[in-house]
Structure 1
Amino acid sequence: MRSAAVFLVLLLCLHWTWAQGESGGETENNITQSDEENKNIEVQFEIQGVETSLDQSSSQTNITPDIWAELKELRDMAIEQKVELRNSKSKIEKLEQDNTVIKARMSFSENEVEELKRENMVLKARLSISDSKVEELKRENTDLLNRVTASENKNTALEARMSSSEKEVEELKRVNANFSKVAFSVGSQ
């Protein structure tokens, strides 16, 4: 960077001396001076110009390769940046595509979740209805069991009554059989 600044200063000096040479070395200050002073000044400028051009040409040969090397480095860096930018763009495009796919899958999943929620609500309603039916069937079953138990109790009571009636019938048959023997025996004698 420092060498580039020195190079620019030398170029300005060379340009200024070249401009002085074309105009004959006259400036606003030189016009008012005598011809002899003008000649001395011209000679001094020419000497300075030669020295400057020598210094410039020697420094230019030293600076030029540095500038070219730096320009090549800058060009290489620009190319690398361009390649990295292309790679970044392709990566960004791939990520955007992936993002689109993920958004579509997420939307599909959200729709499935909503559908499953609706199905879940329907199943809950059906389960509630089934639970109430089960409770009703349990009550009916309990009622039937109570009726069966009552019927069994009635049957047992009826069987007991029937057994008792059968005993009475048997006893009446015995009494009746004894009565007919008695009646038959009374009449035959």
Structure 2
Amino acid sequence: MRSAAVFLALLLCLSWTRAQGVSGGGTESDITQTDVQSEILGVKATSDQTNITPDIWAELEELRYVVIQHSLELRKMEQENTVTRNVFTDLKARMNTTENVVEELKRENTVLEARMNDSENLVKELQRENKDLKSRLNTAENMVEELKRENTGKLQNPQLPVY
């Protein structure tokens, strides 16, 4: 739509330029403007030329070609933009999924860390209890050895009870 409006504006400028050239010009600023427009169109005016009539149909054909090229480029860019949007949407969804997984892993990590701390505390408590039990066991073994020695001595010197 925009390219059609630009095309129409160019046609108006070209027809105005042609009308100015046919009427013989006007003021000095009109001649300068005509010279500039002729320069743009690729027509070189010499000082002895007073009437410049560019080949409007060739120019229109060239403008049509340029408009078609721009339309094709615009379609290509729109397609690329659509693909880029789809990729961006996909990446955004993947990023959200990854963020959710990271949050879940953080929660799991917190739970596992608490369980590990509980296990470490339990191990320390069991080590203290084991140390106490070893101490009690050593004491009991020493008592058993002492009782064995006492019993061995009594068996060698039996004393009969007196009645």
TMscore range, shorter length = 0.5 to 0.7
- For residue 151 of structure 2, the aligned residue among 162, 167, 180 is 162
- For residue 106 of structure 1, the aligned residue among 91, 95, 98 is 95
Does 1:133 pair with 2:122?
A: yes
Give the total of aligned pairs. 122
Secondary structure, in 3 states, of the residue corresponding to 2:24? helix
What does the per-residue CA deviation read over 1:23-60, in whole Å, with 9 as the maximum and x for residues that have no partner? xxxxxxxxxxxxxxxxxxxxxxxxxxxxxxxx85xx64
Moved more, 157-166 or 68-77: 68-77
Amino acid across the alignment from 1:94: V
Secondary structure, in 3 states, of the residue corresponding to 1:90? helix
Which residue is 1:144 aligned to?
133
Distance in 1 separating the partners of 2:24 and 2:134: 125
Does 1:96 pair with 2:85?
A: yes
Which residue is 1:22 aligned to?
none
Which structure has the larger Rg?
Answer: 1
C-alpha RMSD of the superposition: 2.5
Distance in 1 separating the partners of 2:17 and 2:111: 87
4+ residue segments displaced more than 2 Å: 4-10, 67-71
Which residue is 2:21 aligned to?
10
What does the per-residue CA deviation read over 1:49-95, in whole Å, with 9 as the maximum and x for residues that have no partner? xxxxxx85xx64xx32xx33332222111111111111111111111
Q: Which has the higher contact order (CA 8 A, sep 6+)?
A: 1
Shift of 1:7: 5.2
Distance in 2 separating the partners of 1:6 and 1:137: 103
TM-score of the superposed pair, with normalisation by structure 1? 0.57
Write out aligned runs for 1:1-189 (5 A).
8-13=19-24, 60=53, 63-64=54-55, 67-169=56-158
Seq. identity, %: 36
Question: Which structure has more helix as a fraction of its residues?
Answer: 1
TM-score of the superposed pair, with normalisation by structure 2? 0.66
